[in-house]
Amino acid sequence: MKLKLKSKYQFIFFVILFFLINFFQSKYTRLFEDEAYYWVWAQNLSFGYFDHPPMVALWIKISSYFFDNELGVRFFSIISFTFLLIITWKLIDFKNKQNYVWLFFLLIISVAFINVFGFITTPDTPLILFVALFLYCYKKFLQNNNWLYTLGLGFSMAGMLYSKYHGVLVIFFVILSNLSLLKNKRFWIAGLFGFLMFLPHLQWQFVNDFPSFRYHLIDRGKEPYKFENTLLHIVNQIAIVGITFPLVYYAFFKEKAVDLFERSLKYIVIGFIIFFFLSTYKSKPQAQWTIAITIPLIILSFRYFIDHQKARKWLIILGSIQFLILIIARVFLANENISPIKLEPHIAKTWVNELKEKTNGKPIVFMNYSYRNASVYRFYTGIKTHSLSIVRGRKSQYDLENFEKNMQGDNVVAISTLIDGPLYVLKKDSKLYGEKINNYTTFQRVTCTIPFEQILLTPGQDYIVEFEFHNTYSNDISFENISFKGIFQEKRNKILYEVPLQIDNLTAVKGKEKRKMTAKFIAPKIEQNQEITFRIGLQFYDLSAGFQGNKVNVKLKK
């Protein structure tokens, strides 16, 4: 009894220690750019966002009720990581585990990447909590599929999907590990309950024309296969664990699954690694894509290290080294003055203040992959910003929310690496140029729809294209400071050619009006073997063309 009580206090001590470390890390480390972007989401809670489901925005919104500044973005992530530690500990079945509380926390440190989500806020932060909760409910469901764990399963399924779409893979691999679940009525009820909870997000996708699905499945450029991508995937699986990776993976694969629950842990790890290995044939992998495997790795390898003294000894050695590395890295993140290299959170401190001073605090319109810059600048200055999406970049949440409206009529400064204007600031290796624009007026949400799937043209010859211009705004458009561009792209969305479009007798278009238009251009000299698409985009002022037109295939006349 004494030993158990002592172990209980050991566990509480380590949980509080991790909480305090993450708290002060969050307080003294400036935001990562993606965190600032998700903070923008949280200013207007919704059931969906352009890039991801909405749970990360809810995490930040809850944080903002307790603190301002960086802690107002991260506080609930610290709380959720604390719950993650508790749930993961409860998932471990070992009769003498109370004697190895210290080993559990050493193992948490030894799986390095999971520690990141103890203080930063990204979609993976709530995801790993709901993965742990799902596994806990599934384990209890296998023992006793009562209503509590049935509804808990459904709740955690919805939580994973509201965090990140990768959550569906966890569900899939668990079912694959135990196909008898498909004969279990309670499991179907759990799935139905989770689906009903997830319906508001699906309804949001439908109303907004499925922007997230379109981006991830269609619009996102698909790369040709590169061996480097497959190699990077392997490196990522090493990186998410750290220098202890030989021990942790060896322990995981050597430890045999003794029941259906542990069998599911094997399937999740192996399934995720294989699935994203296959994805390297069309895209560049990211380490966080397989973050869900860290929990199964910890649960199964923990038992192996208890049973095998030699492996445990090496874990103590390598885990202690990794702990020192993590502490040093955390200190460098929080204090750029002693860091030997400029890390992402350090960068904003210089360029944001300099840009604010050089623009006299005017509203800023960023352009080209600028949604991060716009978000960081707004977070640290409170000044209005907008991210103007252009075909040379990508769309973002700034296209769904009406940030554009807030900038209309203002005297702004447009900032980008592509602007032909004076240099305003250096952001690490990027040079940000600017252009002052008085009475800023744009109509980036209009559409230019070509009613054909394909256009047939001869390189170097004149071509006439018909399209429907739809003014989706209530205001009339007089086309001052607006020009039409024809944009040719290869299948990975890279721009190959951009040509001016000539539209004769162009007059103002009334609010909500749809008008048939005809544009003329000279077809560029396209090579016969290229797979190319064509679209129409609007160029406002001297900025780059946007996403107003639909894509159609280009076929060359023989």
Pairing state of beta strands 552-556 and 454-457?
parallel
Q: What is the DSSP letter of 485?
A: E
| 473 plus 357 within the same structural domain | no
Range of the domain at 148: 2-334
Residues making up the chain, counted from first to last: 558
Q: How many domains does the chain have?
A: 3
Whether residue 278 lies inside any domain: the answer is yes
| 73 plus 213 within the same structural domain | yes
The token pair at 423 is 């240099």
Q: How many C-beta neighbours within 10 Å does residue 509 have? A: 21
| 351 plus 282 within the same structural domain | no
| 229 plus 367 within the same structural domain | no
Whether residue 442 lies inside any domain: the answer is no
> Given this model, what pLDDT does residue 123 score?
97
> Given this model, what pLDDT does residue 3 score?
47
Residue 42 sits at φ, ψ, to 5 deg, of: -65, -15
| 264 plus 116 within the same structural domain | yes
Whether residue 469 lies inside any domain: the answer is yes
Sign of the CA dihedral 14, 20, 21, 26? positive
| E strand intervals along 100-237 | none
- Residue in 497, 494, 468, 471 with CA at minimum distance from that of residue 485: 497
| 133 plus 206 within the same structural domain | yes
Whether residue 178 lies inside any domain: the answer is yes
| 493 plus 417 within the same structural domain | no
Domain boundary among 283, 316, 334: 334
Whether residue 339 lies inside any domain: the answer is no
> Given this model, what pLDDT does residue 528 score?
65
Rounded CA-CA distance 435/418 in Å is: 11
Domain boundary among 382, 406, 437: 437
> Given this model, what pLDDT does residue 1 score?
42
Whether residue 370 lies inside any domain: the answer is yes
CB of 166 closer than 8 Å to CB of 292: yes
Domain boundary among 381, 412, 437: 437
Angle in degrees, CA 467, 469, 474, rounded to 5:
170
- Residue in 402, 401, 374 with CA at minimum distance from that of residue 387: 374
Whether residue 109 lies inside any domain: the answer is yes
Helices 55-64 and 33-42: crossing angle in degrees, nearest 10, is 80
Angle in degrees, CA 457, 463, 467, rounded to 5:
105
The token pair at 507 is 């007059």
Per residue of the chain (558 residues), give pLDDT as tens. Answer: 444 557 778 999 999 999 999 999 999 999 999 999 999 999 999 999 999 999 999 999 999 999 999 999 999 999 999 999 999 999 998 888 889 999 999 999 999 999 999 999 999 999 999 999 999 999 999 999 899 999 999 999 999 999 999 999 999 999 999 999 999 999 999 999 999 999 999 999 999 999 998 888 877 656 678 899 999 999 999 999 999 999 999 999 999 999 999 999 999 999 999 999 999 988 889 999 999 999 999 999 999 999 999 999 999 999 999 999 999 999 999 999 999 999 999 999 889 999 999 999 999 999 877 899 999 999 999 999 999 999 988 899 999 888 899 999 999 999 999 998 999 999 988 899 999 999 999 999 999 999 999 999 988 899 999 999 999 999 999 999 999 999 999 877 789 999 999 999 899 999 999 999 999 999 998 876 778 999 999 999 989 999 999 999 998 887
| 432 plus 536 within the same structural domain | no
| 401 plus 483 within the same structural domain | no
Rounded CA-CA distance 473/470 in Å is: 9
| 506 plus 425 within the same structural domain | no
| 426 plus 498 within the same structural domain | no
Whether residue 545 lies inside any domain: the answer is yes
Rounded CA-CA distance 254/304 in Å is: 8
| 71 plus 198 within the same structural domain | yes
CATH number, domain containing residue 517 = 2.60.40.10
